[in-house]
Amino acid sequence: MMKRWNVRFLILVALGATLGLSAQNDTSPLRPPKGSKVALVVFEDLECPDCARAAPVIAEAERTYKIPVVRYDFPLPQHPWAFDAAVIGHYFDSKSPRLGVEFREYMFLHQNEINPATMRSYADKFAKDHNTTLPFVVDPQGKFAAEVRADRAVGNRVGIDHTPTLYVVSDGKRGKPFVEVTDRRQLFQMIDEMKAE
């Protein structure tokens, strides 16, 4: 009886490990939007210092190559204001995708000045400077928080464990459909290579 239970337990553990691996190897989000041959996919945290350093490079690549950037909010648990800022980012996304991008760039620019007590005042200043309003209760139904959690779930399925995680992705049938950018100095070269495939 004990041996049978141990065998069942081991099978369940092995099955769980297999399912966990397959869930973390879901690369389906690493594709460009429809109609685009090449794009950048980035998982970022608005409180992550390296994300702030990566943001201008990503923006420059987007402008230079005129390719889309698909952004996923991936707030890390050790960053106390990142989740709330991401929720506000999704609120601005709902007003205009460009406004959401500009909010994220603004937060990265002022990241060193922001803390949990001042984050909202920076968001309010951004809204005022962009002639829009930020309601006192940004997310009464929890819709934007659910979107942030969904972004994070996508990152978990892909296997993201740090931010920023940046990919150059392609719709091409030849070569690699995506490649992680581990050295941002090589980003433009990687985009060129992906476009040439």
pLDDT of residue 25: 79
Going residue by residue through the chain, which has 197 residues, state the pLDDT in tens, using 9 for 90 and above: 444 444 443 343 343 443 443 445 799 999 999 999 999 999 999 999 999 999 999 999 999 999 999 999 999 999 999 999 999 999 999 999 999 999 999 999 999 999 999 999 999 999 999 999 999 999 999 999 999 999 999 999 999 999 999 999 999 777 789 999 999 999 999 999 999 88
Cβ–Cβ < 8 Å for 113, 79: no
pLDDT of residue 21: 38
* Both tokens assigned to 180: 């992680």
How far from each other are the two terminal CA atoms of the chain, in whole angstroms? 58
Strand partners, 16: none
Cβ–Cβ < 8 Å for 93, 66: no
pLDDT of residue 2: 43
For residues 126 and 33, give the distance between their C-alpha atoms in angstroms, rounded to a whole number.
28
**Cα→Cα distances 143→25, 91, 106, 192, 194, Å:** 27, 9, 23, 38, 36
Cβ neighbours of 24 (radius 10 Å):
13
Domain 38-196: CATH superfamily is Glutaredoxin (3.40.30.10)
Residues contacting 185, CB < 8 A, separation 6+? none
Altogether, the residues listed in the chain come to a count of 197
